[in-house]
């Protein structure tokens, strides 16, 4: 690409800019978006296709003058944090620089190469913005629409043309974003949160389950003390490494002030709380906005929403919450997966077939130590033909990766699934169900299961599903069950399998913060999912 091309007559500038755009995009296509060291396009495929369709004519400028849409885009970037975007991700400094130079410098104003660079940067920024507002940033490049040619015309180009013709940034960019109430409520919290946020850069802590050496342990304790100094729990001039009793005292003081479990002990939960600085929390808000972008463009009229970090299940009907229930979800070592499905079946007094993963991790080691392990837990062993097998007759020492048997628990009040189970298709062998350990619902931290979701108000959920079936029946159809049927079957301890006629969509999600009345509520990052996503997609932000 030329370094400079002076055009004295403004009327002829567009033609020279056009030729430079064409040349620059040819270079970008051959070099993965790199035109020169200081000029790289992230969305070069989309940008090239857009200009090809308009014969490479400029959009943002005309005869040595910027068009109104350039000012509007810069104004949007100045406030883009309201949409959860970081303006510097979109060539912001370069756009400001070229806008100033080409407006104020009479010599540079005649340079067609300079105008073409500004043109390409503005277009690349716009394409990047609308993709991030629509898709979010939590995707690998291979999944991004910037590499999907089917999206070039029906998403990128159509929205750019709307922006050019309507000349109103808000109309176009707002329409791209999710029209979900929870999304808009969370966006409302951004400015109040920024206004009151603590801007101190605190030391972030890495807390492994095991330290590989004394040096690792010493380094961690040193950083932990530094973190407590930064928060005012220790004096900055103190340099002595605290003994275990003194450190426990400091931890206890922090726990009490921050309304944590006050035991003076070091834990993953404590470290997550210390690492939850306001800078990290702001990224969590932005990240959560991106998670909403992974949902369908329009949510169903009725659906079940399980939020794992909040330990809640909500049933929505016409955007209104009809019922709420506490849940118990998977432990950090056996996480409940994020998924979308629909409730297809209700089982009254279900049996439990232990998944292979649990057999390998828990049952097999237990059987090797004690062949009576299963009977103590109310479990039975079956072969592939369904015949009962005596565990005492099996040589458990020869198995390590799994066993050629099934382990089942009969139905009843003592069954791990409780008295009811809600099935839905998924590849993870998980489901919603009651539990025989209902006392755990009183716990604050309820990541306790092997991966399935235990529902406290299973009766309310069953009633909603049954009611939905009855409301949607055609005149000639007849329902063979109702809410009373389920209650009677349970009281009589009868086994029943109900096929749900009108399946209700189910969304299991990991949403660690929610907005309400302009305030944001954060939940514990129980699976360190936010931490992982920040380290992957928000480095240096």
> What confidence tens digit (pLDDT) does each residue in 247-306 have?
999 999 999 998 888 999 988 889 989 999 999 999 999 999 999 999 999 999 999 999
Q: What residue ranges of the chain have pLDDT lower than 70?
A: 167, 208-212, 475
- Find the helix or strand (DSSP H, E) in which 347 lies: strand 339-348
- Cα torsion through 470, 471, 475, 481, rounded to 10: 0
pLDDT digits (tens, 9 = 90+) for 213-263: 777 788 888 899 999 999 999 987 777 788 889 999 999 999 999 888 899
CA nearest neighbour of 135 among 159, 118, 168: 159
Query: Which homologous superfamily does the CATH classification assign to the domain defined by 300-351+410-510?
Result: L,D-transpeptidase catalytic domain-like (2.40.440.10)
pLDDT digits (tens, 9 = 90+) for 126-143: 999 999 999 999 998 889
Residue 44's pLDDT is 97
- Find the helix or strand (DSSP H, E) in which 323 lies: strand 320-330
Phi then psi dihedrals of residue 178, to 5 deg: -55, 135
Token code pair at residue 277: 């600085």
Question: For 276, how many CA atoms within 13 A lie in the half-sphere containing its CB?
Answer: 19
Residue 99's pLDDT is 96
The DSSP result for 471-507, as a single string, is HT--TT---S--HHHHHHHHHTT--EEEEEEEEEEEE
C-alpha span between 420 and 463 (Å, rounded): 12
33: left (phi over 0), alpha (psi -120 to 50) or beta: left
Residue 211's pLDDT is 65
**Residues 335, 430: contact at Cβ < 8 Å?**
no
Token code pair at residue 252: 């206890």
H-type helices in 319-372, by residue range? 356-358, 364-369
**Residues 337, 467: contact at Cβ < 8 Å?**
no
Q: 525: Cβ–Cβ under 8 A, 6 or more apart, which residues?
A: 272, 276, 284, 309, 512, 531
Residue 208's pLDDT is 66
Q: Where are the domains of the chain?
A: 10-177, 300-351+410-510, 356-408
What's the whole-model pTM score?
0.90
Q: What is the largest CA-CA distance in the chain?
A: 97
Residue 67's pLDDT is 95
Token code pair at residue 347: 């089982």
Residue 101's pLDDT is 96
Residue 261's pLDDT is 87
Strands 34-36 and 39-40: antiparallel
Location of structure tokens 């530094």 = 226
């Amino acid at each position: 690409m030329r370094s400079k091309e002076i055009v004295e007559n403004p009327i002829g500038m567009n033609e020279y800019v056009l030729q430079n755009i064409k040349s620059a995009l040819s270079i970008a296509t051959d070099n993965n978006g790199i035109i020169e060291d200081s000029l790289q396009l992230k969305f070069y495929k989309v940008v090239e296709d857009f200009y090809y369709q308009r014969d490479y004519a400029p959009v943002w400028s005309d005869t040595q003058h910027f068009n109104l849409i350039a000012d509007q885009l810069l104004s949007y970037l100045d406030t883009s944090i309201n949409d959860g975007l970081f303006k510097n991700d979109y060539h912001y400094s370069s756009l400001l620089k070229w806008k100033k130079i080409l407006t104020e410098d009479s010599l540079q104003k005649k340079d067609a190469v300079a105008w073409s660079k500004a043109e390409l940067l503005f277009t690349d920024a716009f394409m990047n913005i609308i993709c991030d507002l629509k898709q979010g940033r939590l995707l690998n490049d291979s999944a991004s629409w910037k590499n999907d040619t089917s999206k070039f015309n029906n998403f990128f180009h159509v929205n750019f043309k709307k922006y050019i013709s309507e000349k109103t940034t808000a109309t176009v960019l707002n329409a791209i974003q999710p029209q979900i109430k929870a999304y808009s409520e969370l966006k409302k919290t951004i400015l109040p949160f920024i206004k009151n946020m603590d801007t101190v850069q605190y030391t972030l802590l890495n807390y492994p389950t095991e330290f590989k050496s004394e040096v690792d342990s010493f380094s961690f304790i040193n950083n932990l003390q530094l973190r407590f100094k930064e928060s005012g729990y220790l004096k900055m001039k103190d340099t002595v490494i605290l003994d275990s009793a003194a450190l426990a005292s400091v931890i206890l003081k922090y726990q009490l002030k921050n309304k944590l479990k006050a035991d003076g002990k070091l834990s993953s939960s404590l470290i997550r709380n210390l690492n939850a600085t306001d800078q990290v929390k702001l990224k969590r808000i932005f990240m959560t906005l991106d998670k909403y972008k992974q949902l369908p463009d329009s949510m169903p009229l009725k659906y079940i929403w399980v939020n794992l970090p909040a330990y809640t299940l909500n049933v929505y009907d016409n955007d209104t919450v009809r019922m709420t229930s506490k849940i118990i979800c998977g432990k950090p070592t056996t996480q409940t997966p994020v998924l979308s499905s629909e409730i297809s079946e209700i089982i009254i007094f279900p049996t439990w077939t232990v998944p292979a993963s649990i057999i390998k991790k828990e049952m097999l080691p237990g059987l090797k130590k004690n062949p009576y392990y299963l009977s103590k837990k109310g479990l039975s062993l079956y072969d592939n033909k369904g015949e009962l097998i005596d565990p005492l007759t099996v040589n458990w020492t020869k198995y390590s990766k799994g066993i050629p048997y099934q382990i089942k628990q009969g139905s009843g009040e003592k069954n791990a699934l409780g008295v009811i189970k809600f099935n839905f298709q998924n590849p993870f062998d998980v489901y919603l169900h009651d539990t025989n350990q209902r006392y755990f619902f009183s716990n604050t931290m309820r990541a306790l299961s092997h991966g399935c979701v235990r529902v406290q108000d299973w009766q309310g959920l069953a009633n909603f599903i049954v009611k939905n079936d009855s409301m949607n029946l055609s005149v000639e159809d007849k329902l063979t069950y109702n809410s009373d049927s389920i209650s009677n079957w349970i009281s009589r301890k009868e086994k029943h399998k109900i096929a749900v006629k009108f399946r209700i969509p189910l969304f299991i999600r990991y949403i660690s913060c929610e907005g309400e009345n302009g305030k944001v509520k954060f939940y514990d990052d129980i699976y360190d999912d936010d931490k992982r996503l920040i380290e992957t997609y928000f480095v240096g932000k």
